[in-house]
């Protein structure tokens, strides 16, 4: 059986899901404005979390999350708390005394390990990713598909997600964008922080 059409459809849907604004989009763009390398590693952290959700969805964990509301709510509330924490930190930073343009890059830099962990936590505490993949795989993949098809599905998800996250980090770290950010750092940080905080509140309130 030819599974290429399903894989192509899957890659398109995953790309659209990645491109839609969400917690990972705001977190990566805000980090990339200060440091491209940290933004890339944050994107790779998100990708690793997405890979885990995709693998678990292959084994039916996504459907389990959908059925057990306490599990879904636990992951959702943890994610909401972490997003609110990131948002509040950015807002507090925006209220401090502004740094000079030559200090922007140094002030915003974090280690690649820390950047990866931040991205991973943003991705792994979003239960909607689990239910998204569970629904998508059930819809697109026929029952009894061979093992290599599921491996290919996970590979497609990882490749598309990683490519998009790295592209996003690269675009928001180009010189012109960073220079513009240096001039209006405080309102941008405040806006990004408010967006993360709002996403956290929305995640906590919704299902």
- Predicted TM-score (pTM) of the model is 0.79
Higher pLDDT, 86 or 2: 86
pLDDT of 167 reads: 93
- H or E segment and range at residue 70: helix 69-95
- For residue range 139-192, list pLDDT tens digits in order: 777 767 788 888 999 999 999 999 999 999 999 888 888 787 777 778 877 888
Q: What's the rounded Cα separation, in Å, for the pair 11 and 160?
A: 7
Cβ(83)–Cβ(197) below 8 Å: yes
Q: Is the pLDDT of residue 44 over 70?
A: yes
Q: What's the rounded Cα separation, in Å, for the pair 1 and 96?
A: 61
Task: Estimate the crossing angle of helix 36-58 against helix 127-140, to 10 degrees.
Answer: 50
Cβ(28)–Cβ(39) below 8 Å: yes
Percent of the chain scoring above 90 in pLDDT: 23
pLDDT of 158 reads: 95
pLDDT of 49 reads: 95
Percent of the chain scoring above 70 in pLDDT: 87
Q: Is the pLDDT of residue 47 over 90?
A: yes
Residues 6+ apart with CB under 8 A from 102: none
- For residue range 70-112, list pLDDT tens digits in order: 777 787 788 788 888 888 887 887 777 554 444 444 445 678 8
Alpha carbon distances (Å) from 59 to 63, 131, 137:
9, 13, 10
Q: What's the rounded Cα separation, in Å, for the pair 46 and 41?
A: 9
pLDDT of 45 reads: 96
Question: With 0-12 CB in 10 A as exposed, 13-18 as middle and 19+ as buried, what is 22?
Answer: middle
Distance of CA 176 to the CA centre of its chain: 24
């Amino acid at each position: 059986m030819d599974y290429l059409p399903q894989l192509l459809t899957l890659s398109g849907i995953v790309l659209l899901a990645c491109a839609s604004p969400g917690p990972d989009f705001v977190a990566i763009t805000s980090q990339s404005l200060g440091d491209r390398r940290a933004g890339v590693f944050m994107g790779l952290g998100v990708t690793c979390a997405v890979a885990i959700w995709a693998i678990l969805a292959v084994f039916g964990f996504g459907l389990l999350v959908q059925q057990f509301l306490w599990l879904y709510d636990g992951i959702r509330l943890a994610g909401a708390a972490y997003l609110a924490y990131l948002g509040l930190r950015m807002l507090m930073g925006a209220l401090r005394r502004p740094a000079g343009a030559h200090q922007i890059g140094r002030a915003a830099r974090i280690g690649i390990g820390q950047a990866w962990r931040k991205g991973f936590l943003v991705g792994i505490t979003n239960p909607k990713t689990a239910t998204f993949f569970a629904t998508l795989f059930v819809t697109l993949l026929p029952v009894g598909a061979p093992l290599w098809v599921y491996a290919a599905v996970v590979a497609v998800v990882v490749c598309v997600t990683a490519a998009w996250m790295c592209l996003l980090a690269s675009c928001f770290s180009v010189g012109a964008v960073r220079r513009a950010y240096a001039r209006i750092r405080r309102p941008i940080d405040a806006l990004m922080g408010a967006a993360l905080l709002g996403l956290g509140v929305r995640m906590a309130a919704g299902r």
